[in-house]
Structure 1
Amino acid sequence: MNPEEIKAMLGSRWMSVESYINGSLSSDIALLQSINGRILSHSGKQLRPLISMLVAMACSDGGAVDDSCRYAAAAELLHNATLLHDDVADSSDQRRGSPTIRSLMGPSVSVLVGDYWLVKAMELILSASNHGDRVIKIFSKTLSDLAEGEMLQLQKAESGDTGYDDYIRIIYNKTASLFVSSSLSAAISVGASPEMEDAVREFSTALGLAFQIRDDIFDYSQDAVVGKPVGVDIMEQKITLPLIGALQEVPEDEASAVRSLVASIRENPGNRERIMDFVRQHDGVAYAEKVLDGYITKAVDALDIFPDTCYRRQLADVARYVGVRSK
């Protein structure tokens, strides 16, 4: 997947998305303008708005409308708002290889700027000419899901009993839900049929879950290309899919002992390597890879309802990229 090629294919429609993003963030407050510019310059692949626009095009045979561009831009603003808040919740010093706003200017600034981006996203959605009420409900549900997912993860980190179903609910709420709202709003913007909406929901749910599973696999990776430290989830007492898979392979008394290592990791940080070795010895990463592959297959299969256009093919390519990405 080449984001720049997709942007070029989308042409003027992608230019409209960027215009809405930049226009929404324009401020006469120099400090805010500077921070917004810094965030935009480190905005990564902009995967969510790209998927949003490809969905709109796939649902309409290339007939994405102005509302499609507004919703795609709003998805990017919401995504970055959540990152600004996450960096405070996780005390993160780096993101995408660069210092976070939290580390540069403190948690209060990061929260305030995140709030600002969130409001600007909602303004964009409300400025749409059609379907605004329905779409605002979809994005509002996503924000609720995000908060509930974070709280459930904190609760499970405290109790140390995260199971497979808990994990899937957490990553749906924290990650997949925004993929769903980004994609479903795009389908709605072009008047997609109920059957297409269902397919879009299935595609984006599977894609979002796969995306987070890949991130969680990275935490057990020894490959420097990932570009971020390993073992971070363990240090935060988060039991993710590789560890869940490994725990399923051992007797309950051994699994309970490993969970105790996770629960006491802050007092005994040296246990991180023991836990990571346990996951490697019991093929936890291979287990997670298998689950991930299943979700990628579901995502690609969900696209069968759409006409065979370049937009559908690009969506399938994006799904395959999510399955194999290295960072």
Structure 2
Amino acid sequence: MGLDKVTDKPHERLAAFLAPELADVNALIRERMSSEHAPRIPEVTAHLIEAGGKRLRPMLTLASAKACGYDGPYHIHLAATVEFIHTATLLHDDVVDESGQRRGRPTANLLWDNKSSVLVGDYLFARAFQLMTDSENMRVLRILSNAAATIAEGEVLQLTAAQDLSTTEDVYLQVVRGKTAALFSAATQVGGVLAGESEEVIQGLFDYGDALGIAFQIVDDLLDYWGTEQTGKNIGDDFRERKLTLPLIKAVAKADADERAFWQRTIAKGDQRDGDLDHAITLLTAHDTLNETRDVALEWADRSKAALNAVPDGEIKTMLADIADYVVARLR
């Protein structure tokens, strides 16, 4: 039976294709998240890692390496590295955002405390750096360590930009490139580097991951105002957390004096009242910024697929293109 018969979802088809490698990644994650002296570390880590995430980022590392013909063992280590970095950022994000739920379950900071979430996140970052050294590939180390720094930089930039009505679309893109796309592009790029591919292919893999990560985050931000129960998003979370995402940035740019006063009160000052979310969605709809944001996400998904032109043809390349379509499928 072909993989198409198993599932219609591209990331699940890719997971089925990569099943032996993913099993090795999961085994390595369980091994490296253990701690002889601090049992809370595996408790907190397991709560998040085993919560049913798609493992998209580590799959991108495995897929990019295999698409380039790599047949060594170290794509497993790098995939686990990528997942540890991602999990560490989630633990820290939930503390920063004071979140109470992640993947449909209570967050670690809610079940334990903020201190545990921050310190276990730090531990996972350290484990990630240990794992990435196993390949003994200096360029791989440089790519992943740069990505870790860029992620942190993006999160700090978001702190200052999120509630500032002067934030531009360029600054928003810089935030998104940092906090989301940097790990996508590193995950795909290191696969090509590990396989010893040409610079053209390595750049294509980087561009694919970069554009895919940007599309992914724009979709996530858009669904905060456009989502349904089926999308798994709680409508208005970003609004309540006063995050100035792309739909709002576009609306602020088109606002008249009264509308700007509304955004100043609700986002810049945080004075939110009953009915404000509904009014915000009314303004976004009136200025068509939801559809405009959708078009931007679709454009980035198309850029992601175009970047695959440099990648060797094959079943994996097709599945990577399908994932780019899937990321924005809920918007079509």
TM-score normalized by the length of structure 1: 0.92
- Matched to 1:58, the amino acid is A
- Residue 59 of structure 1 corresponds to 68
- Residue 33 of structure 1 corresponds to 42
- Residue 82 of structure 1 corresponds to 89
Shift of 1:185: 1.2
Equivalent position SS for 2:162: helix
Shift of 1:307: 2.7
Equivalent residue for 1:170, pick from 161, 172, 175: 175
Equivalent residue for 1:218, pick from 199, 216, 223: 223
| Paired residues of 1:81 and 1:115 also in contact (CA < 8 A) | yes
Equivalent position SS for 1:219: helix
Distance 1:159 1:244 in 2: 10
Shift of 1:2: 4.3
- Matched to 1:46, the amino acid is R
Residue 68, structure 1, aligned to residue 72, structure 2: no
Shift of 1:272: 2.8
List, as ranges, runs of 4+ consecutive aligned residues in structure 1 with deviation greater than 6 Å: none
- Residue 47 of structure 1 corresponds to 56
| Paired residues of 2:10 and 2:319 also in contact (CA < 8 A) | no
Shift of 1:229: 1.9
Q: What is the correspondence of 1:143-292 to structure 2 with a 5 Å cutoff? A: 143-251=148-256, 253=257, 256-264=260-268, 266-270=270-274, 271-292=276-297
Provide Cα deviations, 1:287-320, integer angstroms capped at 9, x if missing partner: 1110011001101111112232001011101111
Distance 1:299 1:103 in 2: 36
Structure 2: gaps (5+ residues): 1-8
- Residue 3 of structure 2 corresponds to none
Shift of 1:227: 2.3
Distance 1:222 1:45, change over 3 A: closer
Distance 1:4 1:276 in 2: 33
Shift of 1:222: 4.7
Provide Cα deviations, 1:116-158, integer angstroms capped at 9, x if missing partner: 1111111100111x41x22222222222212221222121234
- Residue 108 of structure 1 corresponds to 115
| Paired residues of 2:33 and 2:45 also in contact (CA < 8 A) | yes
Distance 1:216 1:87 in 2: 16
- Matched to 1:203, the amino acid is Y
Shift of 1:23: 1.5
Equivalent residue for 2:304, pick from 284, 299, 305: 299
Corresponding pairs, count: 321
Residue 319, structure 1, aligned to residue 313, structure 2: no
- Residue 146 of structure 2 corresponds to 141
Provide Cα deviations, 1:188-246, integer angstroms capped at 9, x if missing partner: 11111100111111111100000000100111025111223221212222211112233
Shift of 1:67: 1.5
- Residue 117 of structure 1 corresponds to 124
CA RMSD of aligned residues (A): 1.9
Provide Cα deviations, 1:58-78, integer angstroms capped at 9, x if missing partner: 122xx3421111111100111
Equivalent position SS for 2:226: coil
Distance 1:325 1:30 in 2: 40
Shift of 1:35: 2.5
- Matched to 2:93, the amino acid is D
Distance 2:265 2:278 in 1: 11
Distance 2:121 2:15 in 1: 26
Distance 1:30 1:155, change over 3 A: closer
Distance 1:246 1:66, change over 3 A: same
Distance 1:126 1:307 in 2: 27
- The percentage of counterpart residues that share the same residue type is 33
Distance 1:152 1:37 in 2: 29
Distance 2:82 2:19 in 1: 19
